[in-house]
């Protein structure tokens, strides 16, 4: 159980923060930056939900589940699997969370018009917000993959699969709120030469 009864602790005033293991790392550490970017992506999803609540109930419900899972992902990243015992069972992203996002993608993708070119971020306000969330999620994914390539830094395979699927979901959801792709803003190569 998380209890937040004091917001400022002053423990980070020296430019470090604590991982779930108690280890302190600089705030610019790639692991800290990775879960911070996951948090940023989650905030972008929250902004997108401002536009999906009440208008796209099915997508909004999917986004609520993803937002909760993104906190799980942050907790996973904040408690690296070093092999050392922890005083608690760390939260890990699991395959069923990946499968659920894939199922949501499949549901939405069935409704979409086929693509013959790339989509520009835009269209309806909800679509633009979902595209922004997608790009931040892709950045989080790049950081997590980079982190996983550092010797001694473990990032679960399901965590990487999950963040990848979330960005795919956000792309499909953006198209879905753009009148199932009919209102997508399409890229026209070389249009302004």
Going by C-alpha positions, the residue among 101, 79, 100 that lies closest to residue 91 is 79
- Indicate the angle between helix axes 157-177 and 57-78, nearest 10 degrees: 160
CA distances in angstroms from 26 to 13, 14, 32, listed in the order given: 11, 9, 8
State how far the Cα of 184 lies from the Cα of 193, in Å rounded to an integer.
22
Q: How confident is the model at residue 81, as a pLDDT? A: 86
Q: Write out the CATH class of domain 26-81+88-182.
A: mainly alpha
Residue with the bigger pLDDT between 135 and 86: it is 135
- Is 2 a residue whose pLDDT tops 70? no
For residue 2, with 0-12 CB atoms within 10 Å meaning exposed, 13-18 middle and 19 or more buried, which class applies?
exposed
Copy the structure tokens of residue 72: 């799980």
pLDDT tens by residue, 107-161? 999 999 888 899 999 999 999 999 999 999 999 999 999 999 999 999 999 999 9
97/70 Cα distance (integer angstroms) = 10
pLDDT in tens, 59-77: 999 999 999 999 999 999 9
* pLDDT, position 4: 64
Q: What is the pLDDT of residues 8-42, one digit of tens each?
A: 778 677 888 988 888 889 889 999 999 999 999 99
Average pLDDT (83-95) is 90
For residue 55, what pLDDT band results from cuts at 50, 70 and 90?
Answer: very high
pTM of this structure: 0.93
What CA–CA distance (Å, rounded) separates 146 from 56? 35
Q: Please check the confidence at residue 87 and state whether its pLDDT lies above 90.
A: no
Q: Are 74 and 49 spatial neighbours (Cβ–Cβ below 8 Å)?
A: no
pLDDT in tens, 174-191: 999 999 999 999 999 999
Give the end-to-end CA distance of the chain in Å, rounded to a whole number.
Answer: 58
The count of other CB atoms within 10 Å of the CB of residue 95 is 11
């Amino acid at each position: 159980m998380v209890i937040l009864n004091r917001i400022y602790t002053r423990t980070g005033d020296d430019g470090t923060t604590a991982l779930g293991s108690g280890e302190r790392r600089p705030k610019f550490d790639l692991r800290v930056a990775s879960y911070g970017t996951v948090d940023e992506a989650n905030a972008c999803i929250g902004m997108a939900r401002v536009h999906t609540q009440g208008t796209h109930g099915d997508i909004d419900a999917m986004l609520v589940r993803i937002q909760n899972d993104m906190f799980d992902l942050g907790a996973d990243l904040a408690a690296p699997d070093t092999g050392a015992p922890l005083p608690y069972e760390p939260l890990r992203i699991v395959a069923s969370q990946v499968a659920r996002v894939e199922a949501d993608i499949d549901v939405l993708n069935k409704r979409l018009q086929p693509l013959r070119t790339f989509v520009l971020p835009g269209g309806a306000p909800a679509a633009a917000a979902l595209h922004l969330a997608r790009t931040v999620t892709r950045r989080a994914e790049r950081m997590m993959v980079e982190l996983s390539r550092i010797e001694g830094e473990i990032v679960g395979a399901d965590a990487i699969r999950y963040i990848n699927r979330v960005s795919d979901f956000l792309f499909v959801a953006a198209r879905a709120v753009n009148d199932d792709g009919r209102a997508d803003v399409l890229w026209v190569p070389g249009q302004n030469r």
